Amino acid sequence: MTEALLAGLVAGYGVAIPVGAIAILILGLSARTSFRVGAAAALAVATADGLYAAVAALGGAGLAGVVAPVAGPLRVVAAAVLLGLAAHGLWRTWSAHRTRRTPTASAGGGLSTPGRAYAALLGLTLLNPATVLYFTALVLGRRDTAGAGAPALFVAGVFLASASWQLLIAGGGTVVGRALSSPRGRLVTGLVSSALIAALAVVALLPG
């Protein structure tokens, strides 16, 4: 049973640690709004990882075949959402800079409250079919996730690992936001964040 929990922790960190568009979104939200908003987004990502781990642990071998046919369209939808968020964030950042307004929570790309951030990041993360395929491959390759109670421990390990890492990112975003609190610093971080999110959206559309 302990092996299943450890397997979940390793799997959770494996899928969470690589920095991608989701991590950049969490970092940007924390920097431009507050840690509460960033933490809500972080927990949404952990929730999605946990849900996908549960589906993979319970679905087994048949899961990959179900998801694979729609992987392409889901990538297109995810890329479109990312491009929309990048464009919206760029517009809000530039508007705030031109009018010399002190940025408030509304500068978080429309995700200015913990509830909105949680819902948006949960939906966006669930659009990634590679995550469920990743967990399915792990489940199929490991026998220590079989047996009574083992799937639940595996899922718990995935959630704990993902949550701890995403919350670390959110905390880092808060530090960055305080360090670069000047109007110019906020402009630079907003532009860089939007550019990186747009670039990662384009990368998502490129063939494997």
3-state secondary structure the chain: CHHHHHHHHHHHHHHHCCCCHHHHHHHHHHHHCCHHHHHHHHHHHHHHHHHHHHHHHHHCCHHHHHHHHHHHHHHHHHHHHHHHHHHHHHHHHHHHHHHCCCCCHHHCCCCCCHHHHHHHHHHHHHCCHHHHHHHHHHHHHCCCCCCCCHHHHHHHHHHHHHHHHHHHHHHHHHHHHHHCCCHHHHHHHHHHHHHHHHHHHHHHHCCC
pLDDT of residue 105: 38
Q: What is the pLDDT of residues 174-206, one digit of tens each?
A: 776 566 556 777 677 678 767 877 876 777 677
- Write out pLDDT tens, residues 90-119: 887 778 777 765 444 344 456 778 899 999
State residue 28's pLDDT score. 81
What digits encode the pLDDT tens for the residues 25-41?
888 888 888 889 999 99
41-55: average pLDDT: 90
Provide the whole-model pTM. Answer: 0.69
Tokens 């409250």, residue located: 113
Q: Which of 11, 7, 1, 47 is nearest to 133 (CA)?
A: 11
How much is the pLDDT for 87? Answer: 84
